[in-house]
A and B are shown apart, each in its own frame.
Chain A
Amino acid sequence: MTIDATLQTTATTRHEASSTAWFWWKETRQLAPLVLLLIIVALMIVLLNIITEALIRSAGIRLPNEVVMLVFPGLFATGAGPLLVGQERMQRTLQWLSLLPITAKRLLMTKFLVALAGLTAMWCFAGLVIVGFGLGSPTESPWQIGGRTSYSTNPFSYPVWIVHSLYILLAGFYVAWRIKNQFYSLVALIPLAFAPIIMTSITGGILDRPLMHSELDWMNLGFTLLGIAVIAPLTYWTALHALGADAAPALSKLGSSALSPAQILADGTAPKFGTRIAPIIWQSIHSASGSLAILAGMILISLFAAMRLASIRYLNGIDNLLPPLLLAAPLAICWLGVGVFKHDGSAERVRFLADRGVSPRLTYLALHAVPLAILAAAMILYGLWNLAIPHNDDHSAFAETLPTLITLLVFAAVLYSVSQWTSQFVRTLILSVILAPILAAIIAGWLFFSFTQLGFSLGGLVICALAPVAATFFMMRRYMDSRDRPLTFVVGGLVVALIFMLPIASAAWRIGSIPNMAANQRAELLDEARIIQRTTRKPIGVSIRGIEPSNERPFDFERDPIKDIAYSLNGYSVDPTEIIRPIDADQLRSVPPATVDYWGLDVWYGNFHRAQMRWQQADQADAFDTFKPWLTATAKLLVGLRQSTQLSDQEAADRMEVLLIDTLAQDQMKPHSDDAAVRLVNAALGTPASRSQARRRAVLAQWYGKLTSENERTNWRADYLQHEPRGLIAWIEPRRYEQYIMALLDGATQSQHRSGDDRWLHIVHDFNQSGGIFSSSRYGQRMRAMPAIETMTLGQLTGYAQLWGRDWEFANPDNSPTSNDAE
Chain B
Amino acid sequence: MDPVITTDALTMHFRRCDALVGVDLEIQPGTVFALLGENGAGKTTMIRILTGFQKPTSGSCTVCGINPLVDPQGVRQRIGYVSDAPALYDWMSVAQIGGFTASFYDATFLPSYEAAIRRYEIRPDQKIRHLSKGQRAKVALSLALAHDPSLLIMDEPTSGLDPKVRRSFLESMIDRAATGRTVFLSSHQISEVERVADTIAILHHGKIRLHGPLHELRESIHELVIDTDDPLRAIASPPEPAEILSEESSGRSRQLYVRGLEPGMVQAIRDTPGVTEVRSRVATLEEIFVACTTDPQLV
Residues of A within 8 A of B (CB): 1, 3-4, 6-7, 9-11, 14-15, 17-19, 21-23, 25-26, 29-30, 91-93, 95-96, 98-104, 244-249, 251, 256-259
Q: Is the CB of B13 within 8 A of A101?
A: no
Known contacts being A98-B76, A248-B55, A249-B15, is A7 close to B100, with CB within 8 Å?
A: no
- Among A6, A25, A248, point to the contact of B95 (Cβ < 8 A): A6
Which chain B residues (71-124) contact chain A, with CB distance < 8 Å? 72-73, 76-77, 81, 83, 86-89, 91-92, 95-96, 98-105, 107, 110-111, 114, 117-118, 121-124
List, sorted by A's number, 30 A–B pairs whose CB atoms are closer than 8 Å: A1-B125, A3-B124, A4-B118, A6-B123, A7-B114, A10-B95, A10-B124, A11-B114, A14-B95, A14-B96, A15-B107, A15-B110, A21-B103, A22-B99, A26-B100, A29-B91, A30-B91, A93-B89, A95-B83, A98-B53, A100-B101, A101-B73, A101-B76, A247-B55, A248-B54, A248-B55, A249-B14, A251-B13, A251-B57, A256-B13
A303 to B55, CA, bound (A): 45
Which residue of chain B lies nearest to A264 when distances are taken between CB atoms in the complex? B16
Q: Is the CB of B105 within 8 A of A101?
A: yes
- Among B13, B87, B102, B104, point to the contact of A257 (Cβ < 8 A): B13
A247 to B73, CA, bound (A): 17
B95 cross-chain contacts in A, Cβ below 8 A? 6-7, 9-10, 14
Residue B206 at the A interface, CB < 8 A? Answer: no
Known contacts being A14-B95, A14-B99, is A96 close to B73, with CB within 8 Å?
A: no
Q: Is the CB of A99 within 8 A of B13?
A: no
- Among A6, A26, A257, point to the contact of B124 (Cβ < 8 A): A6
A93 cross-chain contacts in B, Cβ below 8 A? 87-89
B83 cross-chain contacts in A, Cβ below 8 A? 95-96
Q: Is the CB of A245 within 8 A of B52?
A: yes
Q: Which 6 pairs of residues, A with B, have the shortest CB-CB distance?
A: A14-B99, A19-B103, A92-B87, A22-B103, A10-B95, A101-B77
A17 to B99, CA, bound (A): 9
Q: Is the CB of A7 within 8 A of B15?
A: no
A251 cross-chain contacts in B, Cβ below 8 A? 13, 57
Give B47-72 as 1s and 0s: 1 = Cβ < 8 Å from A's Cβ atoms.
01101111111000000000011001
Which chain B residues (111-149) contact chain A, with CB distance < 8 Å? 111, 114, 117-118, 121-125
B125 cross-chain contacts in A, Cβ below 8 A? 1, 6
A19 cross-chain contacts in B, Cβ below 8 A? 103-104
Q: Is the CB of A18 within 8 A of B103?
A: yes
Q: Is the CB of B76 within 8 A of A100?
A: yes
Q: How many Å from the CB of A765 to the closest CB on chain B?
A: 66
Q: Is the CB of A101 within 8 A of B16?
A: no
Which residue of chain A lies nearest to B75 when distances are taken between CB atoms in the complex? A99
A103 to B72, CA, bound (A): 9
For the A-B complex with A6-B123, A95-B83 known, give 4 more contacts whose Cβ atoms are closer than 8 Å.
A7-B118, A245-B52, A251-B13, A258-B16
Q: Is the CB of B57 within 8 A of A7?
A: no
Known contacts being A91-B87, A93-B87, A101-B104, is A246 close to B55, with CB within 8 Å?
A: yes
Q: Is the CB of B104 within 8 A of A102?
A: yes
- Among A18, A95, A100, A101, point to the contact of B53 (Cβ < 8 A): A95
B68 cross-chain contacts in A, Cβ below 8 A? 245
Q: Is the CB of B117 within 8 A of A7?
A: yes
B contacts with A, residue count (CB < 8 A): 49
Residue B244 at the A interface, CB < 8 A? Answer: no
Residue B12 at the A interface, CB < 8 A? Answer: yes
A9 cross-chain contacts in B, Cβ below 8 A? 95
Q: Is the CB of B12 within 8 A of A248?
A: yes
Q: Is the CB of A3 within 8 A of B86?
A: no
A29 to B90, CA, bound (A): 12
Q: Is the CB of B103 within 8 A of A259?
A: no
Overall SS of chain B's interface:
loop
A352 to B87, CA, bound (A): 21
Known contacts being A4-B118, A101-B73, is A10 close to B81, with CB within 8 Å?
A: no
Known contacts being A99-B51, A249-B13, is A244 close to B124, with CB within 8 Å?
A: no
A736 to B103, CA, bound (A): 71
Which residue of chain B lies nearest to A248 when distances are taken between CB atoms in the complex? B57
B100 cross-chain contacts in A, Cβ below 8 A? 22-23, 25-26
Q: Is the CB of B118 within 8 A of A246?
A: no
Q: How many Å from the CB of A746 to the closest CB on chain B?
A: 69
A276 to B164, CA, bound (A): 45
- Among A17, A21, A96, point to the contact of B87 (Cβ < 8 A): A96
A21 to B103, CA, bound (A): 9
Q: How many Å from the CB of A92 to the closest CB on chain B?
A: 4
B14 cross-chain contacts in A, Cβ below 8 A? 249, 257
Q: How many Å from the CB of B29 to the closest CB on chain A?
A: 21
Known contacts being A14-B99, A91-B87, A93-B87, is A248 close to B114, with CB within 8 Å?
A: no
A101 to B87, CA, bound (A): 17
Known contacts being A15-B99, A101-B73, A245-B54, is A10 close to B87, with CB within 8 Å?
A: no
B49 cross-chain contacts in A, Cβ below 8 A? 245
A103 to B74, CA, bound (A): 9
A103 to B73, CA, bound (A): 7
A245 cross-chain contacts in B, Cβ below 8 A? 49, 52-55, 68-69, 72
Q: How many Å from the CB of B260 to the closest CB on chain A?
A: 34
A29 to B123, CA, bound (A): 22
Which residue of chain A lies nearest to B81 when distances are taken between CB atoms in the complex? A99
A10 to B52, CA, bound (A): 32
A18 cross-chain contacts in B, Cβ below 8 A? 103
Q: Choose among A9, A15, A21, A247 the residue with the greatest number of B CB atoms under 10 Å from its CB.
A: A15
Which residue of chain B lies nearest to A103 when distances are taken between CB atoms in the complex? B73
Which chain B residues (26-62) contact chain A, with CB distance < 8 Å? 48-49, 51-57
Q: Is the CB of A248 within 8 A of B107?
A: no
Which residue of chain A lies nearest to B13 when distances are taken between CB atoms in the complex? A257
B96 cross-chain contacts in A, Cβ below 8 A? 10, 14
- Among B56, B88, B99, point to the contact of A248 (Cβ < 8 A): B56
Q: How many Å from the CB of B3 to the closest CB on chain A?
A: 21
Give B238-275 as 1s and 0s: 1 = Cβ < 8 Å from A's Cβ atoms.
00000000000000000000000000000000000000
B101 cross-chain contacts in A, Cβ below 8 A? 100
Q: Is the CB of B104 within 8 A of A100?
A: yes
A247 to B14, CA, bound (A): 11
Which residue of chain A lies nearest to B74 when distances are taken between CB atoms in the complex? A101
Q: How many Å from the CB of B198 to the closest CB on chain A?
A: 25
- Among A11, A21, A102, A248, point to the contact of B110 (Cβ < 8 A): A11
A4 to B124, CA, bound (A): 9
Q: How many Å from the CB of B221 to the closest CB on chain A?
A: 34
B104 cross-chain contacts in A, Cβ below 8 A? 19, 100-102
A259 to B13, CA, bound (A): 12
Q: How many Å from the CB of A174 to the closest CB on chain B?
A: 22
Q: How many Å from the CB of A96 to the closest CB on chain B?
A: 5
A100 to B78, CA, bound (A): 10
Q: How many Å from the CB of A246 to the closest CB on chain B?
A: 5
A547 to B87, CA, bound (A): 92
A100 cross-chain contacts in B, Cβ below 8 A? 76, 101, 104
Q: Is the CB of B15 within 8 A of A257?
A: yes
A25 cross-chain contacts in B, Cβ below 8 A? 100
A15 to B112, CA, bound (A): 13
Q: Is the CB of B114 within 8 A of A10?
A: yes
A7 to B120, CA, bound (A): 14
Which residue of chain A lies nearest to B99 when distances are taken between CB atoms in the complex? A14
Q: Is the CB of B13 within 8 A of A248?
A: yes
A248 cross-chain contacts in B, Cβ below 8 A? 12-13, 54-57
Which residue of chain A lies nearest to B54 when distances are taken between CB atoms in the complex? A246
